Chain A
Amino acid sequence: TQLLEQSPQFLSIQEGENLTVYCNSSSVFSSLQWYRQEPGEGPVLLVTVVTGGEVKKLKRLTFQFGDARKDSSLHITAAQPGDTGLYLCAGEDDYKLSFGAGTTVTVRA
């Protein structure tokens, strides 16, 4: 299993603020996925990034895959209470996923 480290572990911000979550590894991945998990539910896939340096935007969420395909970031602009949840990154290699421990994001109204 390849280790992915997510930072910060917890993040609490006011509605309207921006936030960035990081996912780092010493391993190279074929692709990297971001999931959001709400309390009492399973993780839901947000995006998959495949190419080094790739940037994908999903409304107020921006995902970036590092040039070396070892790290990724998730940036949320003008966060809303509905963005509250556990954000998980998962690196894929040879069809196997390795997950980070997650970042718990709380957006206060």
Chain B
Amino acid sequence: ETGVTQTPRHLVMGMTNKKSLKCEQHLGHNAMYWYKQSAKKPLELMFVYNFKEQTENNSVPSRFSPECPNSSHLFLHLHTLQPEDSALYLCASSPQGRETQYFGPGTRLLVL
């Protein structure tokens, strides 16, 4: 068990839907991350939060909206997505932004 949980594990949505992904870490870490993993491509870092403050946004389209209400929870709000946004979305956490990151199991997203 990695101590990082994600829900839902699978999600199918239409391009006009609004949905949210949830991540929770039970490790007492202060940094949390969202990554996108597509087939045959490196993990793409999307957002970084340190102590609830967003410290990095890697030119992610505005149809992805992150929220970090506290150091243990991270959300990714989705709206008007495109089929090319279909991927595995991974959440990770680390102690105070140190390099060792612990990943959740991911949410497999399919946009129709």
Contact = CB atoms under 8 A, between A and B. Distances in A.
A90 B58 CA distance: 17
A33 interface: yes
A48 interface: yes
Contacts of B98: 95
A99 to B, nearest CB: 4
Please classify how large the interface on chain A is, using the bins under 10, 10 to 19, 20 to 34, 35 or more.
20 to 34
Please classify how large the interface on chain B is, using the bins under 10, 10 to 19, 20 to 34, 35 or more.
20 to 34
Contacts of A43: 43, 90, 103
A13 interface: no
B42 interface: yes
B38 to A, nearest CB: 10
Task: Identify the interface centre among A42, A98, A99: most chain B CB within 10 Å of its CB.
Answer: A42
Interface in A42-72: 42-45, 48
Nearest to B35: A99
B2 interface: yes
A99 B43 contact: yes
Contact of B43 (A48, A88, A92): A88
Given A42-B2, A44-B2, A97 B101 contact: yes
Given A41-B106, A44-B2, A33 B99 contact: yes
B2 A31 contact: no
A98 B103 contact: no
A45 B102 contact: yes
Contacts of B104: 42
A27 interface: no
Interface string B74-98: 0000000000000000111000011
Closest 10 CB pairs of A and B: A42-B103, A92-B99, A99-B43, A99-B42, A101-B42, A43-B103, A42-B105, A41-B105, A42-B106, A42-B104
22 contacts: A1-B58, A4-B42, A9-B40, A40-B106, A40-B108, A42-B2, A42-B91, A43-B90, A43-B103, A44-B2, A48-B99, A88-B43, A90-B43, A92-B99, A95-B98, A96-B99, A97-B45, A97-B99, A98-B42, A99-B43, A100-B42, A101-B40
